[in-house]
Structure 1
C-alpha cells in the first residue's frame, strides 16, 4: 500500500476483540483459520492497509504474545457491545480516519480494503463514514469512520442505544457496494456450524 496515501488520509485500524463469543462457545479471536488465529489474520491485513493498528479488548494479556510489539493495545473498560467499544477506542485515537474491523473476519482481503482506501481522499467532508451495504443493511465492522463521528456516537449511546444500524441511518454515510468477492470477504463466523460449513465450502470449491 502506498504509504504516502495512508499518511495523507491519516488512516489507522481499530480491531474489536472484546466479544463474549457465546454462540461459538470459545474465543473467536483465538480460533485458527489455516493454522493462524483469526485475530492475527485480521491484524496482518490491517497492518498492510493502514499506518498503525490498535486492538481494543478487555483481555490484552490473552493475545499479546501472538502479535508484533508494534501493535498498540487499548483496554476496553466496559463490555457493552461493539458500538460502545468503538466509542471507547475512538476516544483514545487521534487520526482522521479509522478502519474499524471485527476480529472474526478470516477471509479479509487486503486488495479489496486497499481499493476502498483509495476512495477516502475523494469523499466530501460532510460524509462521516464509508461502509459496505447490501439489502439496506450495513456491515459496520469492516468500514471506515471519520474522527468526527464520535460526536454522533456519544449522542446515540447517551440515549441508551447500542446499534450500529441505527447510528448509520442517522448520519451521512457513503455506502460501498457489495459484489460476490466482497460478500465472501465479509463472512464472519458466529457458530461452530457456520465455521465448518465455510471451511468445507472453500475446500470443495478449490
Structure 2
C-alpha cells in the first residue's frame, strides 16, 4: 500500500529542556535515526516542524503547522494536508527505536479503517499510528472547537486498535523499546544505555 511516513517535530521539548529531536543517539541526531529506520519502507517522508533550519540536514520535505501551538493533533492535521497519499504513518520525534517493519504492518491494516492505533498494555500510542487523509474534516472540527486531545478525535472515526498479541508476529525486538518515548533527561539516559547494550 502506498503511504507516507510523517515525523512530528513541532513540540517545545519543555520537559527535556532541549530539542528532543536533535539529541545525539548512536552518533547522529535522534530524528535522523528515526528517518533512517523508516526510509527502507516509505518512499515519501515528511517532517512537520516550525523550525525548518534545524532539520535541513535531513534532506526531506518540511511543512509548518497551520494551527500553531495546538499540540500533536495540529501536527497530524498538517501532515495529512501536505501528504500526497491517502494513508499516512505518523511518529513522534522522540521515539528512537521506531520499527519500520511495524509501521509498514500498521499501514497494511488500515484499508477498511480511518485510523490504526496501537494499544499496548493499556496505553494508546496515537503518535505511532496510521491516519487516512479523509479524516481531515473531523480533525479541523476538533481544532476549531479547541478539542485538542487526540482521543476526542479518535472517538469520531473508525479506529482499529491493535494490541500486543496482534503485533507479536511482525515485531522484531523489544516491544517496550519500540514504543519508548523520551520526555525527560532520565528517559534519554535510559535510551542511551539501551543503545550501548
Q: Output the CA distance in 1 between the equivalents of 2:115 and 2:153.
A: 11
| Matched residue SS, 1:91 | helix
Q: What residue number does 2:100 align with? A: 110
* Aligned pair partner of 2:38 in 24, 40, 46: 46
Contact 2:7 2:47 survives alignment (8 Å): yes
Describe the shift of the 1:117–1:26 C-alpha distance in structure 2 as closer, same or farther (beyond 3 A).
Answer: same
* Aligned pair partner of 2:72 in 72, 75, 82: 82
| Matched residue SS, 2:174 | helix
Deviations 1:99-153 (A, max 9, x none): 1111111111223223333434xx32xx200110135542011111111111211
Contact 1:58 1:79 survives alignment (8 Å): no
Q: Output the CA distance in 2 between the equivalents of 1:92 and 1:48.
A: 21
Contact 1:137 1:165 survives alignment (8 Å): no
Provide TM-score, normalisation by structure 1. 0.83
Q: What residue number does 1:92 align with? A: 82
- Matched residues, number: 189
Q: Output the CA distance in 2 between the equivalents of 1:25 and 1:103.
A: 15
Q: What residue number does 1:19 align with? A: 11
Gaps in structure 1 of 5+ consecutive residues: 1-8
Provide TM-score, normalisation by structure 2. 0.87
The answer to which of 111-120 and 11-20 deviates more is: 111-120
Give the CA deviation at 1:48.
1.8
* Aligned pair partner of 2:119 in 113, 128, 133: 133
Q: What residue number does 2:185 align with? A: 192
Contact 2:80 2:132 survives alignment (8 Å): no
Deviations 1:154-200 (A, max 9, x none): 12112211111222233210011136833320100000012113333
